[in-house]
Amino acid sequence: MSPEFLRRKNPGARPTAEAGPPTPLPEEVTAQEYQLKLHYAGKSSAGVRFKAGPRTIDEIPSMLAGIARSDVEVVEPLPIEYSQATPSIVHPSEAMQWLNAHHANSPITRHALMVLESIDAVDLAFDTFACGLLEGEIDTSGYPEYSAIVGGVASHWDEGNGDLVLRAVVGWGGRGVRGDTDRNGARILGGLLTNILANQYSMGLTALERPVPAAGRGGLVCAHCGFASAHERAFYCPKCGMRLLRG
């Protein structure tokens, strides 16, 4: 004889809970509220045109002199294998690429990239970014507080003529906002732009638009430095600035 629990139930049987009369639904549901407000913001200056060349690239970190309150780290454009890298943890493939690309950077740089990539102020498909802590505090793990201002100088190659275009970029954000951060960000942006324009290789402000980020599967491999660009329309290697050979 099979045990009680293996017996077939009567297929027509309905639950026979000996419940009392049904509890009426409450007029209003009592809910426990949860909320997290994140606030990211930033500013980018107009572009400043430079004659292309290794001298200019080497000069860029010095443009943060007197402004940066940490070491300045230079982040180079991402190669094709990181073309989907995005600082968004709910997209694991993109997030893994982003972490693999940036896990060796300093906490300040990683925070700056997360803020500035999230608000689309920096795009490592074509930008080279020299950045550091510009104002405010870091926590005990070395990460900037929400009111700290991070940023520096982003540069990319003008696809028209191969000139280098530099711009000042600052950003901040996290769990909170402070009333004076926007004004301080504008002041620091002005200081960075002054440093860029004061450089001996500067050719002045340019109205050039930023390149349209690559949507496809990336561009060409640089014959000069071997960099595989993730920027589909690039005519100049995002990393070394040499003309890419097509066809």
Q: Which residues contact Zn ion (rule: CB under 5 A)?
A: 222, 224-225, 227, 237, 239-240, 242
Q: Among residues 203 and 221, whose Cβ is nearest to Zn ion?
A: 221
CB of 235 to Zn ion, least distance (A): 12
CA neighbours within 13 Å on the CB side: how many for 154? 30
State the sign of the Cα–Cα–Cα–Cα dihedral 72, 78, 83, 85. Answer: negative
Q: How far is CA 39 from CA 44, 181, 221, in A?
A: 17, 12, 38
- What gap in Å lies between CA 55 and CA 61, rounded to an integer? 12
Q: Is the separation of the CB atoms in 153 and 166 below 8 Å?
A: yes
CB of 71 to Zn ion, least distance (A): 26
Q: Among residues 146 and 236, whose Cβ is nearest to Zn ion?
A: 236
CB of 231 to Zn ion, least distance (A): 12
CB of 55 to Zn ion, least distance (A): 16
Helices (H) and strands (E) in the chain, counts: 4, 7
81 is written with which tokens? 């294998």
CB of 230 to Zn ion, least distance (A): 13
Q: Among residues 144 and 238, whose Cβ is nearest to Zn ion?
A: 238
Q: Among residues 177 and 242, whose Cβ is nearest to Zn ion?
A: 242
Q: Among residues 197 and 240, whose Cβ is nearest to Zn ion?
A: 240
Which residue, chain included where needed, has tokens 């940023």? 151
